[in-house]
Structure 1
């Protein structure tokens, strides 16, 4: 049975509309990152496009490109900041990745009998992955960075297999995408595509292809863009300090001695089955099989080579970095899912396709049910109901008990936010309000007597003293 390309694209489109429209419309932003990004957006880029600030301090944690997008949205559509931020910065890039992924594999239709089914199964697995869905659903720059990483790799493989011409337009786009990946999130934006390309050519015994794609000129172009970026920072107030923090603390520091998220070298290996859902432990079977046969790499089929190089080299590099978060593995996801599907297709192509698709559809159904219950989630797990209460109280001050992230709401509520790190060190006048996280309720009860609970949900408590 011949599979229609347009029909498959329509299926992918329907999945995106069904899942992400409810999520965008009903979910309230989280305090730790999304509301924080609103604070950074409002505080930064007013007089300088290259230096970010957060709570009146320099914020070199992230490059500025993503915040340029957020600033434009906030300038022209402030009322819909979160909705448009997620749509433009996450959902649309995620959708493009899914379509490009499906389209790219179809180029191999003359080499693989079941390529249409194989391609759709892999893309469906990618979309159903909680890591991919999660990254698409939030106001973060990870999916946008992944789009630039994937786009550069997409062009590389298309040129390598002669699906696209090696010309100025494609080469310029490829190296520009690499820089934009770096300019969106940081060093992974350049390490991910370059490690994939170089390892692929090395294992495929074809390093001479680097000359065809003018690799050294491309690197010079990327370094020139970075130099212009840093030059603009250097001539700004606090520019030199910002560069030192950006390069030292936020780049080299995260690789060698991170200030946060320090994990052991095997941390990502433990999380691999989770990020590879809906296939779970199946990724270990495929990984073991292909690593065991790595000496025969040159004899593997082309898709096995591509998926291996899209996942394993970067996974190893990230494992040796000091700072680790599961979201950092996002650029490896397509490769791991593809590798796992290829492993199962080696033995039972048709039955594997049906089984894997059923896993994906089942997980997508669960995610859809969660997405249409966004209001329930917002009421019970976010600050939404408590902020409504706080906005209606007459007091100018709101105290926060061991809850530093609440300062991110200073651009949402018109209150003077006073942090309390230790209850015994500050006297709070009566008739004032204190907000804290649910896991601090025992501690606050010890530090403050006669607290009256005003409002609560699963994560947050609001008291009156």
Structure 2
């Protein structure tokens, strides 16, 4: 084990690339895209291929929710590898995850941590259940976290004592990366690194350094990158589009969102599961120090004369804590927003794991117990399904995933007395034992209850016969990608009644809205039903002349 560790320590980036590949290889085309973000982003990408590369489109109209950078990355991966969609969406997730690990290595170097701290932090992330799952989920959050982490690394280099001569260049790079993060998912990409930097400099009594003239080139880079896209969007879509971005998508979501509104303590509840198994680390940490007045006095007294490692710990703690506070202040909250806070926590845990005097055996025993619980839960996964996904009522892949969890538990338990880095390496090598069957067998089985593809294919069959596809009171763009084109969307029953009276329509509607449609015309006939992501959906068909529509089987195959 030591020989393998030394090899990885010499080539940390290559080692993390191999470990990432072990978790993701062979799973790029394993499953369909799921409700709701995956299929919406897929349609935005399809619209990009049709020419809407500067301002994204969704279901045929401008899409102000997201900037385009992540979709440009997908297009580049598509062009370089030739994998095409939908596989490129999962390739984008894997590549973005690897970029997070690379950024962590750069941050460790900028903080002047020990030579293997970055490698250990990367392995911590790869062994985090939440991170491992996101390697197989098509979102821009991984790229967002990578750019934020890299920006913080550049800011660390810019304000490192003794590096004043390079501050302007390093700060410009940090601002460029923050600007790219902003063009990936919005202004939090700028706020996270800048707030962390300002708070750290304030802690060290150096806040004025951020406002000196050597920061001006970085400010110019930031403004040039962000406002170049804003200006281009204005030219393409006009002032109304910018209002949607700055008022509806930024201001309203931050202050009083109509979507994903949660209480201030949301992340206090959501964070612990996202940090498993490392949420168990306190069993091995000297938490008694936190109730010691001497600890806090020493922390306050040493803030202006700290060592490089103390500076690094302060920067990382400020990054993690300020990010969670900032997220908690926003009106809109989603679990995946936590992702940028995991890299600083991973580096902090890596530093702690280097301390051989701590009783890490407790952590490994707790981790083994957790994986055994997960193994037991996975083996009974079919019992928790809200709807059947297989003819026999089982859950394909569940026992293989359970076996992988059990293997992780056994490995950690057997090596619990070894050096922490060796146990961490073993766990990183064992993670694919459950990740691969989860990605290649279990997740595809869940398409039946997680993907709108079955409904979209029925819509497509009837659309070929001349029926007008229509969705009622459902998120924008849910069906467009698998339908292969724009679907008309209605939000009120009078619009729906008008369409049914004037055209032959194939309609997708939630069961609760179907039941509320009390004046539903008699000729509207249900032809398909699917439970998906928490509720039942119907596909119904109506002919304006009142004659019965053909069943789906008689419509011919969908593409």
Question: If the TM-score is normalised by the length of the shorter chain, which range does it land in?
Answer: 0.7 to 0.9
The alpha-carbon deviation at position 344 of structure 1 amounts to 5.5
The alpha-carbon deviation at position 400 of structure 1 amounts to 7.9
Distance change >3 Å, CA 383–CA 369, structure 1 → 2: same
Provide the secondary structure at the position in 1 that maps to 2:16: helix
Provide the secondary structure at the position in 2 that maps to 1:437: strand
Deviates more, 1:24-33 or 1:67-76: 67-76
Q: Deviations over 1:392-437 (max 9, x none)?
A: 6775549888772595333433686524333434336477623443
Distance change >3 Å, CA 219–CA 266, structure 1 → 2: same
Provide the secondary structure at the position in 1 that maps to 2:507: strand
The alpha-carbon deviation at position 232 of structure 1 amounts to 2.5
Q: Which of 98, 102, 111 is the matching residue for 2:101?
A: 98
1:427 is matched with which residue?
521
1:311 is matched with which residue?
320
User: Retained in 1: the 8 A contact 2:528–2:539?
Assistant: no
Q: Deviations over 1:18-58 (max 9, x none)?
A: 21122213122113112212222334686665433323444
The answer to whether residue 497 in structure 2 is matched with residue 408 in structure 1 is: no
Q: Deviations over 1:377-396 (max 9, x none)?
A: 44664345666666567755
User: Retained in 1: the 8 A contact 2:155–2:174?
Assistant: yes
- TM-score normalised to structure 1 length: 0.79
The alpha-carbon deviation at position 184 of structure 1 amounts to 1.0
1:450 is matched with which residue?
none
Alignment of 1:23-422 (within 5 A): 23-43=27-47, 49-70=53-74, 80-87=84-91, 89-102=92-105, 104-105=107-108, 112=114, 115-116=115-116, 118-161=117-160, 166=166, 169-210=169-210, 214-237=214-237, 239-282=238-281, 296=299, 298=303, 299=306, 301-343=310-352, 345-346=354-355, 347-348=357-358, 351-354=419-422, 363-373=431-441, 374-378=443-447, 381-383=450-452, 396-397=466-467, 404-405=474-475, 408-413=478-483, 417-420=506-509, 421-422=513-514
The answer to whether residue 6 in structure 2 is matched with residue 3 in structure 1 is: yes
Q: Deviations over 1:334-375 (max 9, x none)?
A: 112333444455542875445555565555532233123254
User: Retained in 1: the 8 A contact 2:526–2:538?
Assistant: no
The alpha-carbon deviation at position 77 of structure 1 amounts to 8.7
Distance 1:246 1:442 in 2: 31
Provide the secondary structure at the position in 2 that maps to 1:412: helix
Provide the secondary structure at the position in 2 that maps to 1:235: helix
Provide the secondary structure at the position in 1 that maps to 2:28: helix
Answer with 1 or 2: which has the greater Rg.
Answer: 2
Q: Deviations over 1:151-175 (max 9, x none)?
A: 2112222343468971665443221
Deviates more, 1:262-271 or 1:397-406: 397-406
RMSD over aligned CA atoms reads: 4.1
